[in-house]
Structure 1
Amino acid sequence: MDKQKKYFCVVAMVLILLSGYGKISDSAFRMRVTRMIAGEGMLRLVAAQYGQKAAEPVAETASDRSEKEEHPRVALTFDDGPHATYTPLLLDGLRKRGIHATFFLMGKNIRGNEEIVTQMQRDGHLIGNHTYDHVQLDKIPGDQACQQIIKTNNEIYEITGEYPMYLRPPYGAWPKDLELCVTMLPVFWDVDTLDWKSKNVRSVENIVKRQVKDGSIILMHDSFSTSVEAALEIADMLTEEGYDLVTADQLLVM
């Protein structure tokens, strides 16, 4: 385990212990504790615990980065995969461009698509958890919510040999007490392309053009041909505009 992973594990455990013992029940104080422990960049991950809407930007990361950074950075993230047809097309396109993205996998879609997950890891993408059945975690009992996450973690571990550290909660719903059973960190977004709804390449691109900024986490899906086409065109567009496309964890600078 590298230093960054060890650091995030320590952060998660501290937050879990503090939450469990009722030491950070006040939301404003909890936000300050998070800043002190993990830096402003971590706030994007723990937003839902403190009353932030999932789709709203939580913190600007550019101002906290070293002045040595020359290019703005954004992360392309994809939910609901792996898809047997469209995910390989997306991986091929990203590989040709030398771009790394983040994939939040649904456990029920992994069986039969193990080689796709292996390819994700081989290509250097970040692999995260999107629950097993795409359930809204705050609408089911806590033990069931935990099982949704743990079951998917185990599926991913069997293929990659690594347990995912990051989770994209469906619908942005992250119960405040869920960190007591999992030591993962939720990753939200500030640019929702609505690609699943419009299934329109131009619409998806226009949303990104209007909303993207340095430090943005862009929400897409790898379950539609239009999403794959839009994602690759967006990657080209952002690259031409001087953005570096990185995995979501790389935006969590200290």
Structure 2
Amino acid sequence: MSAGSPKRKSVFQGNVRMCMTWSGDTFFFIVVHIYDMSKRGRESGLHRKSILQFLGMLYLVCLILKAGSGREAEEADGAITTGVEKPKIAITFDDGPHPVWTPKLLEGLKEREVLATFFLIGSNIDGNETVVKEMYENGHIVGNHTFHHVEMTKLSDEKAMEEIRMTNEKISAITGEPVSFMRPPFGAWQKGLEKGMQVLPVNWSVDTLDWTTKNADEIVNKVVTEVKENDIILMHDCYESSVNAALRIVDILKESGYEFVTVEELILP
């Protein structure tokens, strides 16, 4: 270059590159000043290629730090979501135990890690003691549904208490525990019996009417469209269609975020 020619400014002269990223609670500022290569390059021994390589490395570090901070935020959000309590519901079964369909239901509930409440007819227990024992050992609540499936309000207090007492004795002989819950057939209950028999009557809020149809799809649709938090679902474990529908209902509602609990957990403080 001749002495009279104007000086050419390096394209890098005076440029500033800043990379900013967030990691935890700290800001990292990386500021790189690149001076005129024609002047500084000879003094420092740096060349344009070396500086470009250095800048590339700094840029890569920024990207790594940014990605790490994003993962931390996602993990924090996940922890909050996990801590949200699920809405609870109870599924209950009347009129068992059945020698075929109750064991199938128990197997399906165990596979799904779901607890239920069973209200047994006393006259159905003989010959099905192993089914009742499995029911109890799996953690389900075993309740009373009278001995002969009779409407309690049509009986004298003495006869009504006998229906409860006979069934309680059958159940307790298998479980070794007193019976605490009672579902009166047809939902008909004589006030005051709970004090004399020390049982808590339990009705329902969603009636599947599964005993009126063998169409499992119809039963499933009725429940999943009506159910809400704290509902008690009434079903029967003495019909194949009801058992098949019940397991499908469990799958659908668990996927929807519901947690199945026993009536004891749902209604007692």
Q: Partner amino acid for 1:208? A: V
Question: Quick one: which of 86, 94, 117 aligns to 1:71?
Answer: 86
User: Does the CA-based 8 Å contact 2:90-2:260 persist in structure 1?
Assistant: yes
Shift of 1:181: 2.3
Q: What CA distance in whole angstroms lies between the structure 2 residues aligned with 1:118 and 1:236?
A: 25
- CA change 1:69–1:251 in 2 (3 A) is farther
Question: Quick one: which of 129, 144, 148 aligns to 2:159?
Answer: 144
Query: In the alignment, what sits opposite 1:86?
Result: 101
What does the per-residue CA deviation read over 1:111-161, in whole Å, with 9 as the maximum and x for residues that have no partner? 000000000011110110000000000001110000000000000011110
Alignment of 1:103-252 (within 5 A): 103-252=118-267
Q: What CA distance in whole angstroms lies between the structure 2 residues aligned with 1:78 and 1:177?
A: 24
- CA change 1:204–1:171 in 2 (3 A) is same
User: Does the CA-based 8 Å contact 2:194-2:201 persist in structure 1?
Assistant: no
Higher strand share: 2
Structure 1 spans left out of the alignment, 5+ residues: 1-67
Q: What CA distance in whole angstroms lies between the structure 1 residues aligned with 2:126 and 2:230?
A: 33
Q: Partner amino acid for 1:116? A: V
Shift of 1:101: 0.5
- CA change 1:195–1:131 in 2 (3 A) is same
Name the SS for the 1:227 alignment partner: helix
Q: Partner amino acid for 1:234? A: I
Q: What CA distance in whole angstroms lies between the structure 2 residues aligned with 1:253 and 1:243?
A: 19
TM-score, with length taken from structure 1: 0.72
- How many residues are aligned here? 187
Q: What CA distance in whole angstroms lies between the structure 1 residues aligned with 2:191 and 2:183?
A: 15
The structure that has the greater radius of gyration is 2
TM-score, with length taken from structure 2: 0.68
Q: What CA distance in whole angstroms lies between the structure 2 residues aligned with 1:83 and 1:101?
A: 16
CA root-mean-square deviation: 1.1
Query: In the alignment, what sits opposite 1:95?
Result: 110
Shift of 1:204: 0.7
Shift of 1:180: 4.2
